[in-house]
Amino acid sequence: MATNKPYDNRAWLGVLPVLLIVAFSAVIPLMTVVNYSVQDILDFNSRFYVGLDWYRETLQDPRFIDAFGRQVLFSFSVLAIEIPLGILVARGLPKSGVWTSILLILLAVPLLIPWNVVGTIWQIYARSDIGLLGVGLNELGLAFNYTSNPTHAWLTLIAMDVWHWTSLVALLSFAGLTSVPPAYYQAAELDGASKWQVFRYVEMPRLGGVLVIAVLLRLMDSFMIYTEPFVLTGGGPGNATTFLSQYLATMAVGQFDLGPAAAFSVIYFLFILLFCWIFYNSVMSDDNEAQHHD
Amino acid sequence: MTSVSRWVLVFYCIYLLLPLYWLMTMALRSNSDITGKFEVIPSNPTLVNFAEIFSNPIWYQAFGNSLSYVILNTLISICVALPAAYVFSRYRFLGDRQLFFWLLTNRMAPPAVFLLPFFQLYSSIGLFDTPLAVALAHCLFTVPLSVWILEGFMSGVPSEVDEMAKIDGHSFPYFFFRVFIPINRGAIGVTLFFCFMFSWVELLLARTLTGSTTKPIVVVMTRTVSASGLDWGVLAAAGALTVVPGIIVVWFVRKHLVKGFALGRV
Amino acid sequence: MATIMLDELGFAYPGVLEPTLLPLSLEIKDGEAFALLGASGAGKTTLLNLLSGLLVPTTGRILFDGVDVSTQSGSQRNLAQVFQFPVLYESLCVADNLAFPLRARKATNGFSASDIQARVAKIAGELSIENLLKLKPKTLSLFEKQLVAIGRALMRPNVSVVLLDEPLTAVEPRTKWQLRQSLKRLQEELGVTMIYVTHDQTEALTFADRVAVMADGRILQTASPQQVYEHPAHEFVGFFIGSPGMNFVAIKSAGSEQMYAANGVDQSAQRIGFRPEWARLENVSAACTSPAVRWQGKVLHCQILGTQAGAPVGITTLASEAGELKVRGAINAIVGDEIEVVVDRFISFIDEEYCATHHAQSSTDYLANTADE
């Protein structure tokens, strides 16, 4: 934001509609959640205050801990694949021309497919009876079946998430790369820089900003993943692919355990905020150190 | 390294296209054909699945339901986000930064957290099972996003433009609607893209807040799987059709897309 | 360092009929400070890109020390370039930026870490940027950044040529001369071959040993700055260099044949040109017998540039029978005055090409001559 903007509190009038609509769709529900999280609700007429019991219970719930562990593992796995892969794809894109437009549109397509359809696409693609991937792998001699083998289910989920979201990283990185002036490449070439050095010293510094955004987005979105595993594996086999959102949805809508579900929600939300905050701060403090040299 | 990247791109595109290709071939085969034998290239392509969807009101009404809340959501988001983004980009005011970041934290909230309170809230005010309920629920994510994207673009428009209009004697509404908004056409296009992208693809809230009368397409698809069992052909055809609106939207904003991403504001 | 030979070098973009650069031959000597001067679109950037290996010539060859490098990549040619705006590795500190070209070629040039350190210290010392060595580029001013970029270009002791592409564009005017000074001094001290591309005649004329003036994809003249100024080989050179540039008068349109013939102008010459300071203003004298090239005109405006011995000097613009003329010197007329322009020295051109330089004969010589006849 520019620094020389005039100070005017009438500007609040401009943000008022946003404030009202977000208050309606965020503040009221969040207050409800917090309110439930400290009560035991047998039915809506008999409820009593239980303090932080539900929080304690949730944090000690082995199923919550398992789901949380799976969630962390999943998020870090997909980040570890999608971020480097997205950068490579972006570097491979031609800088201009007809192919650039075609490839950009192709890359954007997975982002615009309804999430459950993504699940459906991968379901019919990976099934061992009718899917191209499933049948193909079995033809190769691998006994692939993601509906019964937890490892296969995991791999399929990760492959699906990579298919679904690497484009986002690639589009962001491509935007970052197009901001590198051609003279930088020319200078590095004349300096005799290797391809790796060009990437490391010319492209990476320019990608910094967009990569922070990419990691943040992928971190929080992968942490909230619900629909795709719901369609593809239904959380199974067993609970092998049950992540936090699924567990929460089962608790809240399936079993109507309002108190525990609310406590779970608050913890869940705080965890995402915490993750993003830690990541954002670690990146920004690096930046500050760099500026501190003078 | 460049050649490595080029190869990665080629393989990634194949990786991207294969499931889509499979979806298309499935959509072009009858269910008995699909379960009967495995074929990489369909030998008896047929349009029966598409015919089924276009003749069965459950399917095409579901499409209509989905589009109605998506359009409603996009309109609401743009309308409230435009003035907010404008004042964020042009003025400082009490609590502006705090407000901006608070808005962004909403983007980080898992939809699952809001399931129950939304359900109760909209039931109690009689909005349950209306497109408006879903549209408003999606606003939780699309409004902060829209403000963020639009603010980024508008900050790039020099404030001299505002002053010029003032000097030329134009009223503020004239300036805002006839000068400023046309300048930010691209920004609005990108914002539409992302609102659409979120609202069209979301399932969890859409499923929870709709009943029998406004079932969106995403929900009809999941229910078909569980209820009528496994008509893979129709499922694939419906899936293929849900990809179409996305391609249309991305086609319209293709020129602005990279710039939108370049701002790092998604 | 190397002698650079351009042999019938030409370039045309594929599918474009008109070549961007017409075939040209040129030799740039080892250790020479050479400038390519021309307006935008003259082809100097194309020539620069051919030299740096960004473009491959469509005709002719480029030779570095007799070796044909036409199809070699920029890094193979072992050259360095300074760009219009400072190009630095943003994540590296100044010292690492300077060391980069040596470290990148460590495998082939055999520099040890201590050699590199010594070279960084030397170049930093030459540019007086020792105090910046530990800083990151983003904390530097544009001027300092460009200094570092120049330093990086000079790091390799064996660099064949340093190309400078309008290196002062981004630097603020206040520090321009300072940077130009540093460049010139370094060029002389290190004896590096430098090719300086610019549209700014002051930069070119003060920097270079020799200047090539370009227009429309051709080199019109290659000569020392003084030569280019005093003896332009082409009308465009005379017009482009100097501020204001040369005055041109078509022989047919103004003045009698006798007047030109008396000054030894070749009959086939079409135009004469003279620099504003090669003429002076005189009051109109009714009975004029002087043989000098002279026209009457009316003063349009005067631009005072300073004073000399208390009297204003500057540029007087006149509308005369020979067209609009500019004269530099003492301003002794006011707007509207009828006055006479007397040209002491001029150049005649045939087909825009230089023909001869003429010095006006004094009246006494002329009278003596006619008396003899």
Ordered DSSP codes for A94-137: -SSSHHHHHHHHHHHGGGGS-HHHHHHHHHHHH-TTT-HHHHHH
* Claim to verify: residue B124 and residue B35 sit in the same structural domain: no
Name chain C's partners: 3 or more CB pairs within 8 A: A
pLDDT of residue C362: 52
Q: Tokens 């229910």 sit at which residue?
A: B223
pLDDT of residue B223: 62
* Claim to verify: residue B96 and residue B188 sit in the same structural domain: yes
Q: Which of B40, B112, B140 is nearest residue A25 as measured by Cβ atoms? A: B140
pLDDT of residue C224: 92
Average pLDDT of the residues in C305-322: 87
pLDDT of residue B227: 47
pLDDT of residue A292: 39
Which amino acid appears at position B73 of this protein?
Answer: N
Distance CA C81, CA C162 (A): 6
Write out the two tokens for C155.
């790091």
Question: Tens digits of per-residue pLDDT, C241-290?
Answer: 888 889 988 887 666 777 777 777 777 888 888 999 888 888 876 555 56
pLDDT of residue A1: 42
Which chain A residues are within 8 Å of C89, Cβ to Cβ? 201-202, 205
pLDDT of residue A7: 84
3-state secondary structure of C168: coil
Instruction: Chain C: give the shortest CA distance to residue A206, in Å.
Output: 9
C300 — phi, psi (to 5°)?
-90, -50
What whole-number percentage of chain C has pLDDT above 90?
24
Average pLDDT of the residues in B161-171: 83
Determine the Cα angle at B172 with ends B167 and B174, to 5°. 95
Determine the Cα angle at C208 with ends C161 and C278, to 5°. 160
Q: Which residues contact C200 (CB under 8 A, 6 or more apart)?
A: C166, C168
Question: Tens digits of per-residue pLDDT, B185-212?
Answer: 878 888 888 888 788 888 888 888 887 7
For chain A, domains (ranges, CATH) are 55-288 (1.10.3720.10)
> How many independent structural domains does chain B possess?
2
With an 8 Å Cβ cutoff, is C85 touching chain A?
yes
**pTM: predicted TM-score of the whole model, two decimal places:** 0.80
The residues pairing with C339 across neighbouring beta strands, listed in sequence order, are: C297
Mutation pick from B11, B16, B89, B113 vs chain A, by most beta carbons of A within 10 Å, is B113
Distance CA C303, CA C181 (A): 30
* Claim to verify: residue B148 and residue B65 sit in the same structural domain: yes
Comparing C-alpha atoms, which of C263, C242, C254, C245 is closest to residue C355?
C263
Phi-psi region of B92 (alpha: psi -120 to 50; beta: other; left: phi over 0): beta
Residue in chain C closest to A180 (alpha carbons) equals: C87
pLDDT of residue A286: 56
Comparing C-alpha atoms, which of B90, B254, B82, B240 is closest to residue B163?
B90
Cβ proximity of A272 and A266 under 8 Å:
no
* Claim to verify: residue B158 and residue B102 sit in the same structural domain: yes
Which amino acid appears at position C68 of this protein?
Answer: D
Distance CA C138, CA A10 (A): 37
Q: Within the 105-134 window of chain B, which residues sit less than 8 Å (CB to CB) from chain A?
A: 105-121
pLDDT of residue A262: 85
* Claim to verify: residue B134 and residue B249 sit in the same structural domain: yes
Contact yes or no, B with C (3+ CB pairs under 8 Å): no
What is chain B's alpha carbon radius of gyration, rounded to the nearest angstrom? 22
Distance CA C87, CA C150 (A): 10
3-state secondary structure of C101: helix
Distance CA C203, CA C178 (A): 12
Q: Within the 103-162 window of chain C, which residues sit less than 8 Å (CB to CB) from chain A?
A: 104-105, 134-136, 138-139, 152
* Claim to verify: residue B114 and residue B22 sit in the same structural domain: no
Average pLDDT of the residues in B131-150: 88
* Claim to verify: residue B39 and residue B136 sit in the same structural domain: no
Does C370 score more than 50 pLDDT?
no
* Claim to verify: residue B34 and residue B85 sit in the same structural domain: no
The residues pairing with C327 across neighbouring beta strands, listed in sequence order, are: C316
pLDDT of residue B222: 67
Does C308 score more than 90 pLDDT?
no
The runs of H, that is alpha helices, within chain B are 2-27, 31-36, 48-55, 57-90, 96-107, 111-124, 131-155, 160-167, 172-174, 181-183, 185-201, 204-208, 217-226, 232-262
* Claim to verify: residue B29 and residue B105 sit in the same structural domain: no
Burial of A195 (0-12, 13-18, 19+ CB in 10 A): middle
Q: Is the dihedral of CA C5, C8, C14, C19 positive or negative?
A: positive
pLDDT of residue B224: 59
Q: Do A92 and B155 touch (CB under 8 A)?
A: no
Residue in chain A closest to C155 (alpha carbons) equals: A191
Which CB contacts under 8 angstroms, 24+ apart, belong to A34-39?
Answer: A34/A262, A34/A266, A35/A262, A36/A258, A36/A259, A36/A261, A36/A262, A36/B116, A37/A259, A37/A262, A37/A263, A37/A265, A37/A266, A38/A259, A39/A259
Cβ proximity of B137 and B209 under 8 Å:
yes
Count CA atoms within 13 Å of residue A267 on its CB side. Answer: 24
pLDDT of residue B72: 92
3-state secondary structure of C365: helix
With an 8 Å Cβ cutoff, is B75 touching chain A?
no
pLDDT of residue B191: 85
Q: State chain B's mean pLDDT as an integer.
A: 83
Distance CA A118, CA A230 (A): 11
Identify the DSSP state of A23. Answer: I
CB neighbours of residue A203 within 10 Å: 20
* Claim to verify: residue B36 and residue B62 sit in the same structural domain: no
Distance CA B63, CA B218 (A): 9
Phi-psi region of C267 (alpha: psi -120 to 50; beta: other; left: phi over 0): alpha
Q: Give the A:C interface size as CB pairs under 8 Å.
A: 62
Instruction: Chain B: give the shortest CA distance to residue A252, in Å.
Output: 6
Instruction: Chain C: give the shortest CA distance to residue A192, in Å.
Output: 5
Comparing C-alpha atoms, which of C332, C300, C298 is closest to residue C314?
C332
3-state secondary structure of B79: helix
- The ipTM estimated for the assembled molecules is 0.84
E strands within C104-246? 162-165, 194-198, 210-215, 218-223
* Claim to verify: residue B78 and residue B6 sit in the same structural domain: no
* Claim to verify: residue B41 and residue B52 sit in the same structural domain: no
At C371, the pLDDT band (50, 70, 90 cuts) reads very low
pLDDT of residue B189: 82
What is the separation, in whole angstroms, between the first and last Cα of chain A? Answer: 24
Does B15 score more than 90 pLDDT?
yes
Which chain C residues are within 8 Å of A192, Cβ to Cβ? 75, 101, 104-105
Q: For strand C162-165 and strand C4-11, is the pairing parallel, antiparallel, or unpaired?
A: unpaired
Per-residue pLDDT of chain A (294 residues; tens, 9 = 90+): 445 678 888 888 888 888 888 888 888 888 888 888 888 877 667 777 887 888 888 888 888 888 899 999 999 999 999 999 999 999 999 888 888 888 988 998 998 888 888 988 998 899 888 888 888 888 888 888 888 888 999 999 999 999 999 998 998 888 888 888 889 999 998 998 888 899 999 998 888 878 887 888 888 889 888 888 888 888 778 788 888 888 888 877 777 777 888 888 888 888 888 887 887 777 665 554 444 333
Cβ proximity of C101 and C80 under 8 Å:
yes
Buried residues in B86-101 as b, exposed as e (16+ CB within 10 A):
bbbbbbbbeebeebbe
With an 8 Å Cβ cutoff, is A201 touching chain C?
yes
pLDDT of residue C43: 86
At C373, the pLDDT band (50, 70, 90 cuts) reads very low
Burial of C209 (0-12, 13-18, 19+ CB in 10 A): middle
At C372, the pLDDT band (50, 70, 90 cuts) reads very low
Question: Tens digits of per-residue pLDDT, B146-155?
Answer: 888 888 888 8
pLDDT of residue A289: 46
Distance CA C185, CA C165 (A): 18
Q: Do B18 and A133 touch (CB under 8 A)?
A: yes
Q: Do A191 and C101 touch (CB under 8 A)?
A: yes
Buried residues in A163-181 as b, exposed as e (16+ CB within 10 A):
bbbbbbbbbbbbbbbbebe
pLDDT of residue C254: 65
Distance CA A135, CA A131 (A): 6
3-state secondary structure of C337: coil
> Where in the sequence is the domain holding B107, given as residue range(s)?
48-262
For chain C, domains (ranges, CATH) are 4-235 (3.40.50.300), 247-372 (2.40.50.140)
Distance CA C55, CA C48 (A): 9
What whole-number percentage of chain C has pLDDT above 70?
93
Q: Do B108 and A269 touch (CB under 8 A)?
A: yes
CATH number for the domain harbouring residue B62: 1.10.3720.10
Comparing C-alpha atoms, which of A285, A110, A292 is closest to residue A212?
A285
pLDDT of residue C351: 82
Question: Tens digits of per-residue pLDDT, B102-123?
Answer: 887 777 778 877 877 888 888 8
